[in-house]
Amino acid sequence: MIEQYSGIAPKGDLLLLKKLGEKLARKKFLHINSTRSGGGVAEILQRMIPILQGIGIEARWEVIEGDEKFFDTTKKMHNALQGQAEVITDEMWEHHYEVNRNNAEKLDLSADAVLIHDPQPAPLIDFKKDGKWFWRCHIDLSNPAQGVFESLRKYCEKYDAAIFSVARFARGIPISQFIITPSIDPLSDKNRDLSTEEVRQIMDKLKIPSDRPILLQVSRFDRFKDPTGVVKAYRLVKKYNECVLVLAGSPALDDPEGATVLAEVTSFASDDPDIHILLLPPFSDVEINALQRAATIIFQKSLKEGFGLTVSESLWKGKPVIGGAAGGIPLQITHGVSGFLVHSLEGAAFRARQLLNNPEMARSMGEQGKEYVRTNFLITRQTRDYLALWYSIENPGKDFHEL
Amino acid sequence: MAENVEKRKGGFEFKECAIIRKSTGKKAVTLRELRSLLVDISEKSIYYHIYQYFLKQELSEYTNEFARWAGEFLEERALAEQLSNVDPYSFKDLASLRNELLAVLDYYHEQFPESREVARGHEFYFEESVTFTFLVGVKVRNLAEFLFGIKYVDISSIYYHFYEARVRHGMDDFSRWIEDSLEEKALAEKVRAIDPFMNSLDRIRDHIVTAVEQTVRSNMEVL
């Protein structure tokens, strides 16, 4: 499995993965989250488990089950942790705990290391049998609504370590807190190489013209992704530069506002034939891949963002990205090197015009962005980091390890 | 000393290093807060923000994380320049380096006592790291092989031998081996003359490759 990444991921990452694999060989590494499909966590686990198994670790992935009330509560929890006001009653917290207790009875929790993803299964720590337990939080915890993290804290503090995506998401808890950024899989349908012919066929299928530069934003139809702002920026660009705009997203079943925002954007775009708004079915990974490869410039003009891995996905296609300076986007775009960080729609338009008028700059930025993703945001690096963390917890008191 | 030199006679084995980052849970919003936290922050954190800054492959006009924060987020450009001018390899230990950083901050504060806040999301987060080093599996015995090796290894190997080595024994590993083992003093001096603060890891590799190629070529011409 790991050999498939040879020639793609940095050699050192693969080497360290193998060395850590040797050190942790035949140990059991259990991952637990709350969904088998859909969302970034499941997407990465589907690929990471075989990588771990391939280097000799007995990796398993379990998924907790819950009823509607449980997932309604955890959705509210998720929103509140990201700063939205939500009411989560004591009874809801108790139900959250009870569902975890039921899962603990059904799941085999014995392992040398257990990685619990996100708040849904966090109370499982109370049913720990053995091994080291890590809590991996994928959510932006920089500004949680009052009270919600305090209720979760009692679980977090029992873990051996916590993992956050960005330093500012970390909280003041008295356990080791590691910063491990998320990653993309260069071999998945969303990121693997596509032939020119494959890209052309998909563009034809989606009815996207290829005779002019394409500006693209791939995102849910969500106000925080500012799709209307992107249309306004496109209009400023269009005054002097011929181009088409593609806004592509999938319906999010858990986001009732999505349809409203889509309607707003469609109405705002009015009847401009050069604006293509695509509501793609879920799992349109190859289509998104092709759109990113066909694009000239890619926007991720978010006003608020978690980590925003679509930026790394875009950079991986060798395209310059114009991103809003929100969430994890500034960690992925080096301003002026692999794209531009902007603070307004006018800024987005200005940078897009700069790039359209300087294809050499666009090409060079795309190249540098791809290399930056290769060294920082591939799944091999994230897997390596998880194992390095586990190894360092197994060998405490040392800041330098010679393998 | 003679024994150490003797040990270096022989092949050069490329190593690499990788780090994982840890949060200390401490953050600064103003210069005053940065100064106050810097007094007690762990030496591991200073090491990470100053020495391991070079492992980041981001291009920046500043030479350490404190300078970068002062320049890019606090917009205290003069302070950023002064912090960038601190040469971390000229201190005998981390305590002395910490004192120098505090002295630079204090001097600046005397001149500009107003302390402004950074925008939300741009706070300075004190971090630490856990470092892993390992052999790459490339051992070279002469300059021609070295040329092949240095082109082959990852950029973190350049970091380990060119920067991290200075903390271990006061100079980079490459020039040390070239001088002690290959007795190519002139080449060693060329490698030593590469400014570690003004070059990215890629450019350092390019400079070394150019210098080594010139020497190999000139040695071949002599033959």
Chain A residues with CB inside 8 Å of B48's CB?
Answer: none
Domains of chain A with bracketed CATH: 2-183+378-402 (3.40.50.2000), 196-376 (3.40.50.2000)
pLDDT at B58: 63
Q: A12 and B128: CB-CB below 8 Å?
A: no
| Cα gap B202→A34, rounded to integer Å | 42
Average pLDDT score over residue span A262-291: 92
Q: A180 and B21: CB-CB below 8 Å?
A: yes
A152 touches chain B (CB under 8 A): no
| Cα gap B187→B92, rounded to integer Å | 27
B18 touches chain A (CB under 8 A): yes
Q: A399 and B130: CB-CB below 8 Å?
A: yes
Chain B residues with CB inside 8 Å of A178's CB?
Answer: 20-23
Question: What residue segments make up the domains of chain B, in order of their start?
Answer: 18-128, 134-222
Q: Across the A/B interface, how many CB contacts are shorter than 8 Å? A: 92
Q: B130 and A167: CB-CB below 8 Å?
A: no
Q: For the beta carbon of residue A51, count every other beta carbon within 10 angstroms.
A: 22
Which of A17, A22, A401 to probe the B interface (max B CBs under 10 A)? A401
Q: B157 and A12: CB-CB below 8 Å?
A: yes
Q: Write down the ipTM of this complex.
A: 0.89
Q: B121 and A142: CB-CB below 8 Å?
A: yes
pLDDT at B2: 47
Q: Give me the residue from B21, B58, B134 closest to A16, CB to CB.
A: B134
Chain B residues with CB inside 8 Å of A13's CB?
Answer: 18
B165 touches chain A (CB under 8 A): no
B45 touches chain A (CB under 8 A): no
> In a structure prediction context, what are the per-residue pLDDT tens digits for chain B, which is 223 residues long?
444 555 556 899 999 999 999 999 999 999 999 999 999 999 999 999 999 999 876 656 789 999 999 998 899 999 999 999 999 999 999 999 999 999 999 999 998 888 788 888 889 999 999 999 999 999 999 999 999 999 999 999 999 999 999 998 889 999 999 999 999 999 999 999 999 988 889 999 999 999 999 999 988 865 5
DSSP helix/strand/coil, A192:
coil
